[in-house]
Amino acid sequence: MSTRLKYFGAAGYEIVGPTHRILIDPFLSQNPLAPCSVDDLATPDVILVSHAAFDHYGDTAALAKRTGAPVVCDAAVRFMLLDEGVSPDQITPTTWGIVVEVAGLVVRPVECHHWSSGTLSDGRQVVGNPIAFIVETEPDVRIYHYGDTCIFDMRLIGELYRPTVGLLGCTLPRELSHLIPGPATFLTGEMDADEAARTAEMLQLELAVACHYLAPDDEVRRFVELVPHHDTTGRRRVIAPLVGETLVVDGERHWIERSES
Amino acid sequence: MSTRLKYFGAAGYEIVGPTHRILIDPFLSQNPLAPCSVDDLATPDVILVSHAAFDHYGDTAALAKRTGAPVVCDAAVRFMLLDEGVSPDQITPTTWGIVVEVAGLVVRPVECHHWSSGTLSDGRQVVGNPIAFIVETEPDVRIYHYGDTCIFDMRLIGELYRPTVGLLGCTLPRELSHLIPGPATFLTGEMDADEAARTAEMLQLELAVACHYLAPDDEVRRFVELVPHHDTTGRRRVIAPLVGETLVVDGERHWIERSES
Amino acid sequence: MSTRLKYFGAAGYEIVGPTHRILIDPFLSQNPLAPCSVDDLATPDVILVSHAAFDHYGDTAALAKRTGAPVVCDAAVRFMLLDEGVSPDQITPTTWGIVVEVAGLVVRPVECHHWSSGTLSDGRQVVGNPIAFIVETEPDVRIYHYGDTCIFDMRLIGELYRPTVGLLGCTLPRELSHLIPGPATFLTGEMDADEAARTAEMLQLELAVACHYLAPDDEVRRFVELVPHHDTTGRRRVIAPLVGETLVVDGERHWIERSES
């Protein structure tokens, strides 16, 4: 058995395990490096959306409407999906701690120290509670998606839910920075390389996966260097997939497959 | 001296100590197991509302209007109460850390890792900051109400404010799940039995009280089993009242009284 | 080299280092003890706003419009500034972990366990994510502004970012309490003296500065007593400036200058 994680860029993944196909934060149509379009995607068993930011919410509405797939998300994302015409019967709102089962998959939302805010078509702000997700795709493969959290003491999450693979933001998709107004320069994402490498240790991951970029930058390379530096187990592996590549996790091994498309 | 906690179901309690009558999260009219109606309740000295979710906000507006009692709550609940016609002079908004005194009772709001959102009569969303409360009803009886928090490292709260009795959500009121739209099944509440039992240890409680259910389910029974399992003091007691029952705390003893009504 | 921090009262400071002039939470026109008016202020390199509460947001809009200075803030403050006519080109929204550089100054937002909500001119609520800031004004002078957080385990913030000077709320500006509606009495601010003194230890500060008052009260005096009590380094210094005074930090020394104006 193996689990395949195709990287879309930003925090977007298609995760295909032995029993379920899961989309997380599907950011494609505004993504200059998108390896496929939303129309190319197979119907997922579930779409998980961490929060309402545009590079995470992405194409969720179009995808939900085309495929009819259920969505698990926070209330801000739910408001936005309803506003875009997605059926309420497709959307399950949840928040930290409330474990849900959808299409036979158990989805565990855990704390994400970030925020979630969107704008409806009439200009109103809607606000939710951002989510980091843990899903077990097969026995002993528990995938943690960070959902744009900043660093905090995640040791309790590591102890209680024992994720094995962590998708950890360590920089920001700099190609999108011009979309954010204002005079300042964004130096880091919600976590920098060192902070992300420390969360890999706090979560006691087996495999730390760089996340939250389009083209890899120096922070991604620094993450790859720093994960071993903060590793007290001596066994932690680290990888930084390119957009469009597929990370295959097979027991204690993992490898990258180049995309065909 | 003793303190009496009557359980309404969900997270609702009427707490009567030697000096004050306190209502928390009074959820009655939509509660299929409600042991009384809002009209049956004696006028409280204060109503505490943890957040704007329907099973916590409950009948606060009707109760506040009938009795004139002061309400301590977050800003979302305040917006909703004003929208329902409660006088602003009755409502004190507060948030984590800001200790208030009302009717001679000291109310300590502490961190609650959840969220608080409501909808006004015109459809607008209002958002606040959910609250867990600690109140001292008599010397050495300090009651912690969890306010729907998920698990987090509560040791600092335990050390600083030394609650003795904790009302801890360990499941969800499954009878209400059909009111939440969407395709998923809710497996747990914001905390499951194991998480709640761990918080009893982090808070160093003397008495852990199961909370957030109507009819007790397997998680409630598991909570009763797990509290001793996580107890390093060897002295922690645990109880799971039925809706309508009254928990009496008298020094180091406690017992249940069946409701007369 | 030295860094000068002029106290405006509440959580407002003008911080002038060797290279930058920074305003934080400029609360003046509604401040009965304001040492100057917004028109008296020199143009800052940047204005930092922790959250949308009136005693922190203060005169930011007027100041931004008069001076054209850039503002770094959360989304609620940004909505309010836009509503008051500040140009979007002046405003950079950020949140926890996303380090920004503006006018050559590196601004680090860290977790602030509070909340941020404002009201627009049309009555709509806007909500953001409150920020505590760390800025390095000169080598080895890293200033932490607490942004109205309650106490939480800040040791990770201390370890990672090593602030040397902390502006720590330890009470509340009681002169403003009458502006908050409701029947209760506010006993403490988001942190009391003991909690604030404990955060000085968790952050491993060299110099703990009392914050969040107008005229100093007993809590401010208790903070000055308790900082040494919680100090495991034996070297921590503490000070409580009066409104209008300037705290000068020069290497391992600090002193107070009375305001001339």
**DSSP calls for B140-205:** TEEEEE-TTPPP---HHHHHHH--SEEEEE-S--GGGGGGS-SS-EE---SS-HHHHHHHHHHTT-
Question: Residues of C with CB below 8 A from B106's CB?
Answer: 187
CA dist A44 and A39 (Å) reads 12
Going B63 to B64 to B68 to B74, the CA torsion angle's sign is positive
DSSP letters for C181-212: -SS-EE---SS-HHHHHHHHHHTT-SEEEEES
CA dist B19 and C39 (Å) reads 52
- Mean pLDDT computed over C177-187: 92
Q: Which residues contact B84 (CB under 8 A, 6 or more apart)?
A: B61, B65, B121
Which of A53, A128, C112, C121 is closest to B127 using CA atoms? A128
The yes-or-no verdict on residue B259 having pLDDT over 80 is no
> Within 13 Å, how many C-alpha atoms sit on residue B133's CB side?
30
Token digits of residue B208: 């852990």
Token digits of residue B245: 């029952």
Of C127, C153, C184, the CB nearest to B156: C153
Of C127, C150, C184, the CB nearest to B127: C127
CA dist C9 and C169 (Å) reads 11
> Is there a contact between A83 and A20 (Cβ–Cβ < 8 Å)?
no
The yes-or-no verdict on residue B260 having pLDDT over 70 is no
Q: What are A104's strand-pairing partners?
A: none
CA dist A256 and A18 (Å) reads 18
> C 117-136 residues with CB below 8 A of B?
117, 124-125, 127
Residue A150 and residue C96: Cβ atoms within 8 Å? yes
CA dist B134 and B34 (Å) reads 24
- Using the 8-state DSSP alphabet, how is residue A103 labeled? T
- Interface size A-C, in CB pairs within 8 Å, comes to 85
What chains are in contact with C, requiring at least 3 Cβ pairs below 8 Å?
Answer: A, B
Interface test with A, best of C83, C96, C124 (most A CBs within 10 A): C96
Token digits of residue C235: 């070297």
What chains are in contact with A, requiring at least 3 Cβ pairs below 8 Å?
Answer: B, C
The per-residue pLDDT for range A195-206, each reduced to its tens digit, is 999 999 999 999
* pLDDT at residue A260, as a whole number: 57
The per-residue pLDDT for range C66-111, each reduced to its tens digit, is 999 999 999 999 999 999 999 999 999 999 999 999 999 999 999 9
> Is there a contact between C102 and C122 (Cβ–Cβ < 8 Å)?
no
CA dist C137 and C248 (Å) reads 12
- Using the 8-state DSSP alphabet, how is residue C250 labeled? E
> Is there a contact between B219 and B171 (Cβ–Cβ < 8 Å)?
yes
Token digits of residue C195: 């909690």
> Is there a contact between C78 and C100 (Cβ–Cβ < 8 Å)?
no
Work out the minimum CA distance from A43 to partner chain C, whole angstroms: 34
Q: What are C145's strand-pairing partners?
A: C133, C167
CA dist A233 and B102 (Å) reads 52
CA dist B134 and B156 (Å) reads 14
pLDDT tens, residue order, chain A (261 aa): 999 999 999 999 999 999 999 999 999 999 999 999 999 999 999 999 999 999 999 999 999 999 999 999 999 999 999 999 999 999 999 999 999 999 999 999 999 999 999 999 999 999 999 999 999 999 999 999 999 999 999 999 999 999 999 999 999 999 998 888 899 999 999 999 999 999 999 999 999 999 999 999 999 999 999 999 999 999 999 999 999 999 999 999 999 998 654
Work out the minimum CA distance from C252 to partner chain B, whole angstroms: 31
Name the 3-class secondary structure at B125.
Answer: strand
The per-residue pLDDT for range A132-160, each reduced to its tens digit, is 999 999 999 999 999 999 999 999 999 99
The per-residue pLDDT for range C130-144, each reduced to its tens digit, is 999 999 999 999 999
Q: What is chain A's alpha carbon radius of gyration, rounded to the nearest angstrom?
A: 17
CA dist B146 and B24 (Å) reads 11
The per-residue pLDDT for range A96-125, each reduced to its tens digit, is 999 999 999 999 999 999 999 999 999 999
For chain C, percent helix, then strand, then coil, each to nearest 5? 25, 30, 45
Question: Residues of C with CB below 8 A from B162's CB?
Answer: none
Work out the minimum CA distance from C239 to partner chain A, whole angstroms: 29
- Mean pLDDT computed over C161-181: 95
Burial bucket for residue C121 (CB in 10 Å: 0-12, 13-18, 19+): exposed
Token digits of residue B180: 């939440």
* pLDDT at residue B258, as a whole number: 83
* pLDDT at residue B261, as a whole number: 47
- Mean pLDDT computed over B2-15: 98
Token digits of residue A220: 């991604």
Q: Which residues contact A246 (CB under 8 A, 6 or more apart)?
A: A4, A5, A6, A7, A256, A257, A258, A259
- Residue B45: CB atoms within 10 A of its CB come to 17
The yes-or-no verdict on residue C260 having pLDDT over 80 is no
Name the 3-class secondary structure at C42.
Answer: coil
Residue B150 and residue A96: Cβ atoms within 8 Å? yes
Q: Where are the beta strands (DSSP E) in chain C?
A: 3-9, 12-16, 21-24, 46-48, 71-73, 91-93, 100-102, 105-111, 116-119, 125-128, 131-138, 141-145, 165-169, 185-186, 207-211, 237-239, 246-250, 253-257
Of A113, A114, A184, the CB nearest to C92: A184
Which of A9, A18, A78 is closest to A47 using CA atoms? A78
- Mean pLDDT computed over C190-208: 98
CA dist B31 and B12 (Å) reads 10
Q: Which residues contact C75 (CB under 8 A, 6 or more apart)?
A: A115, A117, C93, C95, C126, C127, C128, C129
Residue A97 and residue B186: Cβ atoms within 8 Å? no
Which of B119, B173, B165, B116 is closest to B145 using CA atoms? B165
CA dist A45 and A231 (Å) reads 34
A151 in contact with C at a CB cutoff of 8 Å? Answer: yes
Work out the minimum CA distance from A75 to partner chain B, whole angstroms: 9
* pLDDT at residue A261, as a whole number: 47
CA dist B81 and B72 (Å) reads 11
- Residue B167 banded pLDDT, cuts 50, 70, 90: very high
Which of C137, C151, C167 is closest to C251 using CA atoms? C137
Token digits of residue C254: 């600090």
Angstrom distances, CA of residue C192 to CA of B153, B212, C110, C151, C200: 21, 31, 21, 9, 13
Q: Which residues contact A79 (CB under 8 A, 6 or more apart)?
A: A118, A120, A126, A128, B125
